[in-house]
Amino acid sequence: MAHVFSSINLKGGVGKTTTTVALAETLSAEKHKKVLVIDLDPQTNATTMLIGEEKWRELNDKGFTLAQLFKDALNPDSKKFDLQKTLQKHVSDVSSATTIDLLPSSLDLIDVQDELINTPVGKYGAIRPFDILWRATKDLVENYDVVIIDCPPNLGKITQNGLRMSHGFIIPTIPDILSTYGIPQIIRRVREFSEEIAEDIEPLGIVVTKFQANSNVHVNMLKQLKKNHATDDNKWPPVFDTIIPQANQIAAAAEHSGYSTLKQKWGYQGLHDRFSELTTEVLAKLGA
């Protein structure tokens, strides 16, 4: 059975997508897992990191993105989504990461999400709005060891589609007040959604990203996050032991270029080792 988890935070710019891609590449290159990345974030950063902007534009122009799947749900009499043509195989610019496939995102998801909110449920017939992705991909995902879903920075219908398929979720965050403020809301809303669909969606933990050891704010917030979990684990999930440091290499890695190894892509400032350790932790949480 595929192990499926989502990556989510209500604030952008916290290293969510970088963490998603780094986990996928490490799972493939080092853990020898077959990985599917599902990009639900309209910013399309995971997509462009994995296939490059030129290839993404080509797919987007042809309608071969997940936006078309949701457009079909809004217009069931005119279905155009083609799963096989949308699925991009053997993506990533790391040559040693050979077992990653991608379902790409689109900027059009922004408009689609607004329509999903405003469209009466009856429009879908028997399909609940949060079942759209699951119904389209439930057979496909069983071809993979791990599926990672990069969610948009909100808790709307598109995010619910990702959570509907997930056994758990991670919350990447910078250890500061603005980035961590929404974590209790995420936990509460996902728990309510989990109860609504009668499926367990476990908070796997908080991934601290862009950490600066010389910042009192970061050091103190890291301590606070751990204390929060110890005193109220109903609102605050555990913090992963692995801390992802702030590093110049992260910005360079966001550009789709050619790399032979993970270490070449993620640099020699300890970043590669941290992602490797985080991947081991995530697999343990998933029981994979």
For the chain, which residues make up each domain, given as ranges?
A: 3-52+83-105+129-286
DSSP at 94: B
In 3D space, the residue among 44, 163, 20, 38 whose CA is nearest the CA of residue 88 turns out to be 38
Compute the average pLDDT of residues 7-12: 93
Beta bridge mates, 70 = none
Cα 273 versus chain centre, distance: 20
Grouping H, G, I as helix, E, B as strand and the rest as coil, residue 170 is: strand
Grouping H, G, I as helix, E, B as strand and the rest as coil, residue 171 is: strand
Grouping H, G, I as helix, E, B as strand and the rest as coil, residue 71 is: helix
Decide if 173 contacts 221 (C-beta within 8 A). no
Number of CB atoms found within 10 A of residue 187's CB: 18
| CA–CA distance, 141 with 145 (Å, rounded to integer) | 8
| CA–CA distance, 27 with 23 (Å, rounded to integer) | 6
Grouping H, G, I as helix, E, B as strand and the rest as coil, residue 262 is: helix
Looking at per-residue pLDDT, the higher value among 127 and 129 belongs to 129
| CA–CA distance, 104 with 51 (Å, rounded to integer) | 9
pLDDT in tens, 213-269: 999 999 999 999 999 999 998 889 999 999 999 987 777 777 877 888 898 888 767
- Rounded to two decimals, the pTM is 0.94
* Residue 42 clears pLDDT 70, i.e. is over it: yes
* Residue 286 clears pLDDT 90, i.e. is over it: yes
| CA–CA distance, 230 with 238 (Å, rounded to integer) | 8
| CA–CA distance, 92 with 24 (Å, rounded to integer) | 9
Angstrom distances, CA of residue 56 to CA of 39, 48, 91, 151, 254: 12, 6, 12, 18, 14
pLDDT tier for residue 276 given thresholds of 50, 70 and 90: very high
* Residue 125 clears pLDDT 80, i.e. is over it: no
What pLDDT, on a 0 to 100 scale, did the predictor assign at position 206? 98
The CATH topology of domain 3-52+83-105+129-286 is Rossmann fold (3.40.50)
Tokens 């109903």 belong to 234
* Residue 119 clears pLDDT 60, i.e. is over it: no
DSSP at 11: S
Decide if 4 contacts 35 (C-beta within 8 A). no
What pLDDT, on a 0 to 100 scale, did the predictor assign at position 251? 75
* Residue 157 clears pLDDT 60, i.e. is over it: yes
What pLDDT, on a 0 to 100 scale, did the predictor assign at position 1? 86
